[in-house]
Structure 1
Amino acid sequence: MNLGPWGDLTIFAGMMAIVFATCVFVYITRLERRTSHPMGEQVGAHKAVLAKIRKREPLTRDEFDYASELVADARSPLAYAIPAALFTTGFFYVVGCLFMLHLNGGHPSFRTFIGGIPMLTSMNIAAQLRRVAGIKRKLTDIPVLESESTEPLTAVGSK
């Protein structure tokens, strides 16, 4: 059976969405099973720690360990399955609409390209993951203070 290019792309996008959704499930299951760092419970801690690294400020041992965990999570290949699943879902919607229009002889409308929104969003998520993963180089040069800080981290931009 020949479905044409839009039909073939729709089937391919559907299969890839299932594959990436499975990878997301595996990744999230791994994250849930491990013991999380205590700093992960503080609101805004990740943003504050990453800001300190970008400014090359010294970190406490807890902050360094938490930052290392954040970078390791962002560097995991399975982490990129999240934006990939979102992208393929939007792609599935767009090519599915184009396939149906091709069968019925219609013309694309704005509704056809609504799937572009999750596709653009997924690219932003992937860029954010790359940005955090790239901090690994800076993390090796950051001085680590052995004395523990008793004050909790304050979120960036708050007083």
Structure 2
Amino acid sequence: MTFDTSTHTTGLGLWGLLMFVALGVEALLATCAFIYVRRLLALRALPGADELNSYQKALRKLRKDEPMTRDEHALAERIIDIRRSPLALTVPFCFMGMGIFYVLGSLEYLHGHTPSERTFLGVIPMFTATNLILQMRKTARMRKRLPHATIVEERDVDTAPVPTSNA
């Protein structure tokens, strides 16, 4: 009489079933993210958008209620609209889905044995996705500030006196 000592079982367990559900959801999210990125790539560039850190500068000025040029205001408005889109959330949710798929797949592979540190490597993209979602929502909330932003002419910004310290 021989006993089968293999850890592999026939059929799927709960973790395997959940893994395939996560794979299906991941495929759907990846499709939506692909469509969203294609839409973003089709947008025409705004004046001043090619400068290094132009979006960050425009958003910083909006956040701190500093005077902005019309181009900076248009850049801030565009980036806020981009990050407010419900389809924009599919990109970080894809990262979240990859992490969930990895963890569930690792748990299915173990068949009830004690999980190791490797099993929870999938938590890293989950934290990344959470950070991305929080940053996107933080930027999207700045929509309320757009109507109250101070818009100045470009030449007024160039000729404005630079504050100096008397130290």
The reply to whether TM is greater than 0.5 is yes
Q: CA deviation at 1:60?
A: 1.1
* Bigger relative contact order (CA 8 A; separation at least 6): 1
Equivalent residue in structure 1 for 2:139, among 132, 138, 141: 132
Q: 1 CA distance for matches of 2:145 and 2:14?
A: 46
Show the counterpart of 1:43. 52
In terms of fraction of residues, the more helix-rich structure is 1
TM-score, structure 2 normalization: 0.83
Paired residues, number: 148
Unpaired runs of at least 5, structure 2 = 1-9, 159-167
Give the counterpart letter for 2:142 in structure 1.
Answer: I
Equivalent residue in structure 2 for 1:120, among 117, 123, 127: 127
Q: Aligned-pair RMSD on alpha carbons?
A: 1.6
Unpaired runs of at least 5, structure 1 = 152-159
Equivalent residue in structure 2 for 1:148, among 127, 147, 154: 154
Tell me which structure has the larger Cα radius of gyration: 2
Show the counterpart of 1:12. 21
Secondary structure, aligned partner of 2:115: coil
Q: Runs ≥4 in structure 1, deviation > 4 angstroms? A: none
Equivalent residue in structure 2 for 1:27, among 23, 36, 48: 36
Give the counterpart letter for 1:27 in structure 2.
Answer: Y
Instruction: Indicate the percent of aligned positions where both proteins have the same amino acid.
Output: 38
Show the counterpart of 2:106. 97
